[in-house]
């Protein structure tokens, strides 16, 4: 199996798993995985596909600017520019963007503060925070219909090779060393958002 | 594969997927897909079936008035008249009607206003609304036990070839160009209703 | 296939489906299906089994008093007496008892009133209520650790060949003509309870 | 099949089932099953694996101190010490540790009281409590980043051969005679936590 085939399969497996959880409602969401450096090439989800199906047209190979490398009728996801920022500014190998009810609601409630913080929860260790008093901060950026503006805002928060950014009413984007690490951050974030939402419903009363 | 077989399979696939999500609780819900124009013929779910099973009796072919085209012991779903309105008044190719807890609760809370509106949420793009200040309006009509009355009320809101209408305490009906598009609207609506419900629980406090 | 084999398979299919929904948490729940009248014989779930597995020891055949008909090491579910009441007092062919978070919470909140009522919701049609102003009443009885006392309390509400009774903090029992009908009532009840719970969280504020 | 193979398969089956419920979000959770006494040997989940996959490297055999018995590149889960306490202090055969949103939220809300109690709920029978006025008490201990401290705190509550302990914002650990019994406690606890959470949202208003 070539590196391309391996990466394709890894991303397809992640897609299957997230689809089973209904994390691509209304054809939302897009996924990417790096295939090589210098020059950067990565696979990204093709636009307008049903992500519950597994086909040979689910992904296409693009360059650091998000342009298709081979001649194809497939179009990269509208938000490919955000993935370009990830692979240009960090050493991450995989980046995932999805919508859930919890991540959208959290992004709206905490949107004006520009971030949400978690402390004292075991699950923040998924982000590599092992100290007893560590604080996980997930920034929340405004949504922009114009994708280059959104990408510009997004890249300001690419401070490491793994991380997460919430876009207000527009889901979360996570990035990590590889598919395993990116999925771990995605799951941990979702857990934390659902936790915060449940606690909010009780404590604000 | 004939067009009829193709449409049958598309609708059966949609049925399987929605059944897995438990969107047909208590044998509720009904689905339709157009097979041909002039004269209009469409497949519609047969009444009284378990939609978690896939059988050769799941659908039957009916005409623009919802009458079975072939001799059959199967009866079309009680609400076939609403699907007739869709294929008579629009160019849609698929229409889906389902009950979820979220769509029933939203239809009750917002029922007196006759509609629910969404703005500033990425997911409304599923309805083709791409402007930053676009507003998605989903009408909510009263429920009528008498189906011809319900169909009459429903058809007033068939303003385009795709769309969605909530019936108070009686689920949602969506329609779109094909099964893919109709399912996209169904999922996006459900996401938006769950979002609104979660936000309502917090903000009304 | 004998009648016994047919009924076994029907009940096993229902068990598989309910198990997938996690409606048997902590080995709770029990199911029964009638095999013959005069004398009454019915299959009931064996005690202490994992209902997510499908085995040849999932059910055993018992008589109208809940006694095993054949020599077996299997023990009928502790609450078999309730199923006995169903087959003795009604013409129902299947009875299902399960716990969900929603049915337990509803039984607690409305327990002192002795019942919960639903009106104006399409889903109550699953109970054969088609009038626009029909009211579905589901009785809620106190829980008794002593099963004969519980069965005595339960049988007072066996007014027809299909129906549902909530036991306070002890799940729901439904009965109907066959497995298809009983499952329909189970699903419709669960939908209604989840609906009421979501509405309660908002409207009580 | 050797005892080791049997235990491996039992634990792998439990892992599959819990993974399907998304009870290992963000690679959280760890599982153990005893293989022999005198000297104690048990299988425990290897660190850093995706628990949704079933592989030959999912578990490794360790001794009563949590040290690998054979030469291996696998590392036992970081929290293996808690499982060591279970097999040292009790006759339990299986111990399971998982995170859910409900168990984390409950552990936070009731954390200062050091415990949560359940009475009058049928599901507490899963813990062997059959009296009508029986009370189930689940202790809640503080979380410690230093695992030996956590294990020391945890072992104070190992009063019988089956039971459950909540760790504040760090999930639940249950132990029981075998995999079947431990899973039963895990499911019953989760049901009770979700019940309490739903009731809390309504009654605290």
Edge-to-edge order in the sheet of strand A41-45: A59-63, A41-45, A30-36, A94-98, A172-176, A163-167, A135-141, A115-119
Contacts of B205 in chain A (CB under 8 A): 204-205
CA atoms of D67 and D56, how far apart (whole Å): 19
Segment D144-173, tens digit of pLDDT? 989 999 999 999 999 999 999 999 999 999
| pLDDT at C204 (0 to 100) | 63
Question: What are the backbone angles phi and psi of residue B11, rounded to the nearest 5°?
Answer: -70, -35
Q: Is the pLDDT of residue D202 over 90?
A: no
Residues 6 or more apart whose CB falls under 8 angstroms from that of B109 comprise B200, C199, C202
Handedness of CA A95, A99, A103, A108 (dihedral sign): positive
Is C144 part of any known ligand binding site? no
> Which token pair is A197?
């939402």
pLDDT band per the 50, 70, 90 thresholds, residue A78: confident
Contact B17 A52 (CB under 8 A): yes
Task: Give the residue on D whose Cα is nearest the Cα of C110.
Answer: D199
Which residues of chain C have a pLDDT value below 50? 205
B203 close contact with C: CB closer than 8 A: no
CA atoms of A47 and A29, how far apart (whole Å): 10
Which residue would you say has higher pLDDT here, A203 or B129? B129
Contact B191 A105 (CB under 8 A): no
Strands D135-141 and D163-167: parallel
Which residue would you say has higher pLDDT here, D112 or B48? D112
Please give the ipTM for the structure prediction: 0.96
**What is the rounded average pLDDT for all residues in chain A?**
96
Task: For helices C3-20 and C179-203, give the axis angle rounded to 10 degrees.
Answer: 20
| pLDDT at B205 (0 to 100) | 47
Count of helices and strands (H, E) across chain A: 5, 8
How close is the nearest chain D Cα to the Cα of A113, in Å? 23
What is the residue range of D191's domain? 3-204
Contacts of C22 in chain D (CB under 8 A): 21, 187
**What is the rounded average pLDDT for all residues in chain C?**
96
Strands A135-141 and A163-167: parallel
| pLDDT at A205 (0 to 100) | 47
Q: CA dihedral in degrees (D79, A20, C105, D143; nearest 10)? A: 20
| DSSP string of C104-157, one letter each residue | HHHHHHSGGGTEEEEES-GGGGGGT--STT-EEEEEEE---SSHHHHHHHHHTT
Count of structural domains, chain D: 1
Strands A172-176 and A163-167: antiparallel
| pLDDT at A203 (0 to 100) | 78
Contact D143 A122 (CB under 8 A): yes
Which residue in the set A167, A168, A201 is minimally distant from B201, CB to CB? A201
CA atoms of D23 and D29, how far apart (whole Å): 8
| pLDDT at B53 (0 to 100) | 94
Segment B94-137, tens digit of pLDDT? 999 999 999 999 999 999 999 999 999 999 999 999 988 999 99
> What Cα–Cα distance (Å) separates residue C50 from each residue in B91, C62, D127, D187?
51, 20, 16, 12
* Residue C29 belongs to domain with CATH number: 3.40.225.10
CA atoms of B26 and B52, how far apart (whole Å): 11
């Amino acid at each position: 199996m070539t590196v391309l085939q391996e990466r394709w399969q890894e991303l397809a497996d992640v897609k299957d798993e997230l689809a089973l959880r209904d994390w691509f409602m209304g054809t939302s969401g897009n996924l990417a995985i790096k295939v090589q450096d210098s020059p950067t090439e990565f696979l990204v989800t093709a636009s307008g596909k049903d992500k519950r199906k597994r086909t040979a047209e689910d992904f296409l190979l693009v360059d650091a600017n998000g342009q298709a490398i081979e001649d194809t009728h497939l179009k990269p996801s509208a938000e490919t520019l955000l993935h370009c920022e990830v692979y240009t500014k960090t050493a991450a190998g995989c980046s995932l963007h999805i919508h859930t009810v919890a991540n959208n609601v959290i992004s709206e409630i905490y949107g004006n503060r520009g971030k949400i913080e978690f402390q004292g929860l075991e699950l923040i260790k998924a982000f590599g925070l092992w100290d007893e008093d560590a604080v996980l901060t997930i920034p929340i950026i405004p949504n922009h219909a114009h994708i280059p503006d959104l990408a510009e805002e997004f890249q300001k928060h690419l401070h490491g090779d793994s991380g997460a950014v919430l876009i207000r009413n527009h889901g979360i984007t996570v990035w990590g060393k590889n598919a395993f690490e990116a999925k771990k951050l995605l799951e941990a974030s979702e857990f934390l958002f659902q936790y915060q939402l449940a606690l909010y419903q009780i404590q604000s009363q």
